[in-house]
Amino acid sequence: MQEAWWRGAAIYQVYLRSFADGNGDGLGDLAGLRGRLDYLSKLGIDAIWLNPWYPSPMSDGGYDVADYRSIEPIFGTLAEAEKLIQEAHERDIKIIIDVVPNHSSDQSAWFQEALAAGPGSPMRERFWFRSGHREGPPNDWQSIFGGPAWTQVPDGEWYLHLFAPEQPDFNWNSPAVREEFLDVLRFWLDRGVDGVRIDSAAVLIKDPDAEPDGLDPYTDRDGVHEIYREWRRVSDTYPGRFLIGEVWLPDQERFARYLRPDELHTAFNFDFLSCPWDPAALRRVIDDTLATHVPIGAPPTWVLSNHDVTRPVTRYGRPDTSFDHGDRKHGMTSDRELGVRRARAAALLAMALPGGVYVYQGEELGLPEVEDIPDALLQDPIWARSGHTDRGRDGCRVPLPWSGDAPPYGYGGEPWLPQPADWGPLTVEAQEADPSSMLNLYRTALRIRRESLGDGTLTWLPLGEEVLAFTRDSGLTCVVNLGREPVRLPEHQRIRLASDEVDGDLLPADTAVWLV
């Protein structure tokens, strides 16, 4: 690993509620994660990123935080979290936590104090409380989860929530809010966490008083950058720590501003994640990403999936292989065999690119999106807020299968979301015994990546319009055939790793190889 370990790290995302259940209540927890650290060590990752683990009513899967300095009891205790950090470090695995600065829970002490204090109170200045007009909310902003972004309280005022009503937005014009989060950063950095992922990083600054109806409240504003300069000054006092932003922006120039030397260290590459399985589109995204990052010295990140996105095996098997939060394409026909083949090739592509790579739990098992969860069991707030038109994100959050041939597949108690009956061949136990499994492909690729890839540069090779081919600094060459016909591989190189079987020097469609 480089001195700045995060520049080329392989980071594994743990959605704690669905990873492993250590106490048998059907909910993943810290005990379950601690019991699987050796699995993650064998997988070959460098760090674990955990989705929010704080006390929460779970109105949005923990992204409605009630207390930023403690642990949700269903997950464990603060002492267990500190033990996890220690045990992970003993295995040379870093820990990254999720901080949610845009909003809190409506059950947080601050918000409850604001409600009790009434209009005009300084307590309400920490949030966006406003009077309505025209017998309605202050403006026509809409929540990203559907419906109005304003909710009225009994005294007649309205509060802003860009997400669910249970997630009131902080007012970052308030000095108290700024100081609170600087202290939260220090609290966790003092406990040994190695990185902080910042949720909804671009939308903190807004002004509903000065903005007319119809102006997009999700547009980033320049004032957000001073916030992250303050955060960077704090993180820089802790050697080896880093900040990563969840920044969804189509404008690459504005995106790059978050990665200036005195702001965030890295940001998620959502253009790559959303890109269809198309050679020209992928080449364009890769080139644009490198063009954005290289001049400012920031490492790119490559992400195929996360807790909000349709799983690759399902997405890549559809006629439309792109991803869009506005249209998740629920119910679109998906060819499982084709999706698996492309997902394997995409994994080798992502891991070969220069910079860091993220692996979402279950991606290494080739889990599909679960699209037939009964309506009555869906828990994502998007389902209710959309008027039951968008089934939301539960399908990629189904608990992992570890062993056995029937639910709960060694996960623990009865899972909080139902697991499919046909997941027996996808368990860790079953895949460990199969040399050609997705799990063993990931293990081998992550091992080679640690030896020969990670941070650095690439040089493109001209192997045809349907092929992505490049050589990395170490001399390893990656070739991905996204066309329909086999293509000839470069001469005088041998295959180090292939996503599927290769016949001689012809690379089949939807297949990737690493050559040396």
Least confident of 169-183, 322-336, 347-361, 460-474: 322-336
Provide DSSP, 64-87. Answer: S-S-TTS--TTT--HHHHHHHHHH
Question: How far apart, in Å, do the first and last CA atoms of the chain sit?
Answer: 21
pLDDT number for residue 269: 85
Q: In the predicted model, is pLDDT for residue 250 greater than 90?
A: no
Q: In the predicted model, is pLDDT for residue 424 greater than 50?
A: yes
pLDDT digits 0-9 by tens, 369-423? 999 999 999 999 889 888 899 999 999 999 999 999 999 999 999 999 999 999 9
Average pLDDT over residues 108-119: 97
Least confident of 217-221, 279-283, 442-446, 510-514: 217-221
420 and 84 Cβ atoms separated by less than 8 Å:
no
Q: By three-state DSSP, how is residue 458 classified?
A: strand
CA dist., res. 346 & res. 333, Å (int): 20
CB-neighbour burial class of residue 132 (10 A; exposed 0-12, middle 13-18, buried 19+):
middle
What does the chain come to in residues?
A: 516
Average pLDDT over residues 473-484: 97
301 and 357 Cβ atoms separated by less than 8 Å:
yes
pLDDT number for residue 1: 37
pLDDT number for residue 248: 83
CA dist., res. 55 & res. 34, Å (int): 19
Q: In the predicted model, is pLDDT for residue 205 greater than 80?
A: yes
CA dist., res. 252 & res. 274, Å (int): 15
Q: By three-state DSSP, how is residue 495 classified?
A: strand
Tell me whether residue 246 is one of the annotated catalytic residues: yes
**168 or 295, higher pLDDT:** 168
pLDDT digits 0-9 by tens, 164-188? 999 999 999 999 999 999 999 999 9
Ordered alpha helix ranges (H), 353-402:
381-385
48 and 395 Cβ atoms separated by less than 8 Å:
no
CA dist., res. 232 & res. 229, Å (int): 5
pLDDT number for residue 217: 77
Instruction: Single out the catalytic residue among 166, 199, 263, 271.
Output: 199
Q: In the predicted model, is pLDDT for residue 511 greater than 80?
A: yes
Which residue, 112, 15, 29, 125, is CA-closest to 66?
A: 112
pLDDT number for residue 503: 87
Which residue, 411, 313, 433, is CA-closest to 32?
A: 411
pLDDT > 70: what percent of the chain? 99
CA dist., res. 514 & res. 495, Å (int): 6
Number of alpha helices (DSSP H) and beta strands (DSSP E) in the chain: 14, 18
Place 368 in a pLDDT band, splitting at 50, 70 and 90: very high
CA dist., res. 154 & res. 469, Å (int): 61
Beta strand residue intervals within 202-252, DSSP E: 242-245
318 and 332 Cβ atoms separated by less than 8 Å:
yes
CA dist., res. 356 & res. 394, Å (int): 27
Q: In what order do the strands lie in the sheet with 129-130?
A: 129-130, 158-160, 150-152
Instruction: Single out the catalytic residue among 21, 106, 246, 369.
Output: 246
Q: In the predicted model, is pLDDT for residue 65 greater than 50?
A: yes
What pTM does this model have?
0.95
Q: Can you say how many angstroms the Cα of residue 314 is from the centroid of all Cα atoms in its chain? A: 17
- Give me the chain's average pLDDT, please: 95
CA distance to 32, 141, 161, per residue, from 216 (Å)? 41, 7, 14
pLDDT number for residue 133: 74
Place 84 in a pLDDT band, splitting at 50, 70 and 90: very high
Q: By three-state DSSP, how is residue 385 classified?
A: helix
Radius of gyration of the chain (CA): 23
Ordered alpha helix ranges (H), 308-335:
312-315
Place 2 in a pLDDT band, splitting at 50, 70 and 90: very low
pLDDT digits 0-9 by tens, 388-403? 999 999 999 999 999 9
pLDDT digits 0-9 by tens, 206-233? 988 877 665 677 778 889 999 999 999 9
CA dist., res. 514 & res. 278, Å (int): 19
Tell me whether residue 405 is one of the annotated catalytic residues: no
